[in-house]
């Protein structure tokens, strides 16, 4: 097979080989792009991965389509894939255009003389590299990014424009930071001279009103952040450094946009954390945990490996491995369904009560 990196067009045989698919060929065609069936032309490989898009193949102008196993067409060529979404990923890598970057240091960048820059590193416009920083080979630091003192960056990393990386952070190989990510800012950690309202509420179940002169003191963060290999972090996500130890993000973990991870947190390997999740300080998340959108977690919570937390759940206590959690406050899914059934029965009982209430009054 030809080197796919140097090509802009692909034969159906090449594409089928790349995705490990089953090709049913009706005609010879060159593919130069991907798209949904209704927007495809003769040189587009139509992506028909679900029932709606499969139905649209009857209306497409495409000459070929990627489809699930068992789907065929008498009108166009098909490449059947056992895992169509995985096949789509492989194809998108063929057509993906990486961000513009030039090997070397842009004239407007500021790089401290003590920084160690590896081979083939790109440092873009207005980037600031502080003292004692080390950057591994082939990494790309794009425009307007700040890298603090003694930060270690591995090989083949890609930092999109506007990222801010605080002092002493350790970032592994092949890490991707999307636009305006914040790594190793100070944690949100404060203390008062006397017990505050939150402490009183936890201990006594009520809020006292005698804290009008209370002063709030900042607790400095002397730890940092460790990001292991193959992590991707979405735009505008913030990961705070630890108070006296490091916040850690395990290898292969993927974090969406607009996520907040507090100080001292330990996130395991292969986790998926979706947009607008907020994880308070000192939480421990196991491996391969999925946290859906807008989940909120209180501090000092532990979630076991292979758990799934459904969207908008409010996590107020720890749960063991392989938990499926839903609701606010969150409970295991089976318990949540039981609660719903109980509420449904309660509605029926109330309806019956109202039906006979007049008899009780009489």
- What are the residue ranges spanned by the domains of the chain? 4-95, 104-332
Q: Return all residues near 120 (Cβ < 8 A) that are at least 6 apart.
A: 103, 137, 138
Q: Which residues of the chain are under the pLDDT cut of 50?
A: 1-6
- Out of 93, 106, 263, 300, the active site residue is 263
**Model pLDDT, residue 36:** 96
Both structure tokens of 325: 């959690």
Q: Is-catalytic flag, 263?
A: yes
> Are 88 and 105 spatial neighbours (Cβ–Cβ below 8 Å)?
no
**Model pLDDT, residue 350:** 81
**CATH 1.10.1740.10 is right for the domain spanning 4-95:** no
Q: Are β-strands 140-141 and 122-123 bridged in parallel, bridged antiparallel, or unpaired?
A: parallel
**Model pLDDT, residue 331:** 93
Homologous superfamily, domain 104-332: Hexapeptide repeat proteins (2.160.10.10)
Beta bridge partners of 67: 80
Q: Which of 156, 166, 157, 163 is nearest to 179 (CA)?
A: 163
**Model pLDDT, residue 209:** 67
**Model pLDDT, residue 6:** 46
User: pTM for the complete prediction?
Assistant: 0.87
> Are 68 and 80 spatial neighbours (Cβ–Cβ below 8 Å)?
yes
């Amino acid at each position: 097979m030809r080197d796919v990196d140097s090509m802009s067009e692909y034969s159906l045989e090449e594409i089928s080989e790349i995705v490990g698919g089953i090709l049913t060929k009706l005609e010879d065609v060159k593919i130069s792009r991907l798209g949904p069936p209704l927007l495809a032309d003769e040189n587009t490989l139509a992506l028909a991965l679900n029932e709606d898009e499969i139905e649209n193949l009857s209306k497409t102008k495409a000459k070929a389509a990627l489809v699930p196993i068992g789907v065929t067409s008498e009108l166009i060529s098909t490449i059947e894939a056992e895992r169509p979404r995985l096949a789509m990923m492989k194809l998108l890598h063929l057509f993906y255009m990486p961000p513009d970057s030039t090997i070397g240091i842009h004239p407007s960048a500021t790089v401290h003389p003590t920084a160690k820059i590896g081979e083939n590193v790109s440092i873009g416009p207005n980037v600031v590299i502080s003292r004692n920083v080390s950057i591994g080979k082939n990494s790309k630091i794009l425009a307007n990014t700040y890298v603090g003192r003694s930060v270690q960056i591995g090989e083949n990393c890609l930092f999109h424009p506007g990222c801010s990386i605080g002092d002493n952070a350790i970032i592994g190989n092949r890490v991707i930071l999307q636009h305006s990510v914040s790594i190793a800012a100070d944690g949100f950690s404060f203390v008062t001279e006397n017990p505050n309202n939150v402490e009183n509420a936890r201990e006594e179940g009520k809020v006292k009103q005698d804290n009008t002169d209370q002063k709030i003191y900042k607790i400095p963060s002397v730890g940092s952040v460790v990001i292991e290999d193959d992590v991707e972090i979405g735009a505008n996500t913030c990961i705070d450094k630890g108070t006296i130890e490091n916040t850690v993000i395990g290898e292969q973990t993927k974090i969406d946009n607009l996520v907040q991870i507090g100080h001292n947190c330990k996130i395991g390997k292969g986790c998926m954390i979706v947009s607008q999740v907020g994880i308070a300080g000192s939480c421990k998340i196991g491996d391969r945990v999925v946290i859906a959108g807008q989940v909120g977690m209180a501090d000092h919570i532990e979630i076991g490996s292979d758990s799934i937390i459904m969207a908008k759940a409010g996590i107020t206590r720890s749960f063991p491995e392989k938990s499926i959690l839903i609701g606010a406050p969150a409970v295991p899914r089976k318990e949540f369904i039981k609660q719903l059934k109980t509420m449904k029965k309660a509605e029926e009982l109330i309806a019956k009560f109202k039906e006979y209430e007049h008899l009780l009054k009489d």
